[in-house]
Amino acid sequence: MEVMEEKRGVIEFKDDKVFAWPTLVAKEFLAAILVTVGLLFYSYVVDAPLRELSNPGQAENPAKAPWYFLGLQEALVYFDPWFAGVVLPSIIIVGLILIPYLDINPKGNGYYSFKDRKFAVTTFVFGYVFWYVLIYIGTALRGPFWAFFWPWEKWTHDFPTPPPLHNLPLPLGIVLLGGFYTAGLILPALMKRDFFMKLGVIRYAITMGLLLTMIGTVIKMVFRLAFNVRYIIATPWINI
């Protein structure tokens, strides 16, 4: 207790402050100038795209959303629109919002550190990179009819017919999906008891639920690419 008090006192007296004028303001001003010059130079050299007048009768092929949504459009290959276009982005936004309330690790506050928060940094950076990888695929590697083309291939309408897809039998699908979430929730709790205890049941369940959904999204993509699986769970009402 005494040590804590003393430490706090030291922190309060530590003064590494500098005047905002001009140390900070000059840098900001310089940054603003550089950004302006950069933007104006780029605008001078490269024209913004403007295609023909819109024509509802003639669909663009491929019709692509703005690039920052192409990760989601790429996810449409693997999921139905209700998931790829609505539920997945909603989960991402809610998940991002919840981060400060789920990550209760007091270390790594206000400085760069991987060592102090391996789990948090790994998870976030994986998701961040994955988002941009999907955007890259959707932007650069998807041609007419959303067919896949390598960067060195020419986009044509004459691509081989993709192999037929099949659904998993419903009982197997339910067992797989249910088993995935059940095992994913229970096993880490048993194996990393202190992680579970620190977070508490609710925080742990939400954290793992979000993490499993992210991993599950990747696994579903692998299932599709490796085994031509269309749906893990196929019902008349909803397909996953």
Partner 1 sequence: MKLILDLIKKITGNEIWKSVFRHGYTDTPRNRVLQIISNVWLHLHPAKVREHGTKIRFTWCMGGITFFIFLFETITGILLMFYYVPDVNRAYADMVDLMYVVPFGRFLRNSHRWGAHAMVITVSIHMLRVFLTGSYKPPRQFNWVVGVILLVLTLLLSFTGYLLPWDQLGYWAITVGTNMARATPFLGHEGPFSYILGMKPDNDVRFALLGGTVIEAPALLRAYVWHCIAIPIIGGALMMLHFWRVRKDGGISGPL
What's the rounded Cα separation, in Å, for the pair 210 and 92? 9
Q: Does 109 help bind partner 1 (rule: CB under 8 A)? A: yes
Q: Does 99 help bind partner 1 (rule: CB under 8 A)? A: yes
Q: Does 112 help bind partner 1 (rule: CB under 8 A)? A: yes
Question: Do 145 and 62 contact (CB within 8 A), yes or no?
Answer: yes
Q: Does 226 help bind partner 1 (rule: CB under 8 A)? A: no
Kindly tell me which residue out of 2, 5, 6, 47 binds partner 1, with binding defined by CB under 8 A: 47
Question: Do 183 and 219 contact (CB within 8 A), yes or no?
Answer: no
Q: Does 31 help bind partner 1 (rule: CB under 8 A)? A: yes
Rank residues 110 and 163 by Cβ distance to partner 1 and give the closer one.
110
Q: Which of these, 216, 202, 20, lies nearest to 127 by C-alpha position?
A: 216
Q: Does 11 help bind partner 1 (rule: CB under 8 A)? A: yes
Rank residues 85 and 144 by Cβ distance to partner 1 and give the closer one.
85
Q: Which of these, 239, 238, 5, lies nearest to 229 by C-alpha position?
A: 239
Q: Does 97 help bind partner 1 (rule: CB under 8 A)? A: yes
* Unique residue bearing structure tokens 């003393």: 6
Report residue 36 as tokens.
């302006």
Residues in 113-172 at the binding interface with partner 1, rule: CB under 8 A: 113, 117, 120-121, 124, 128
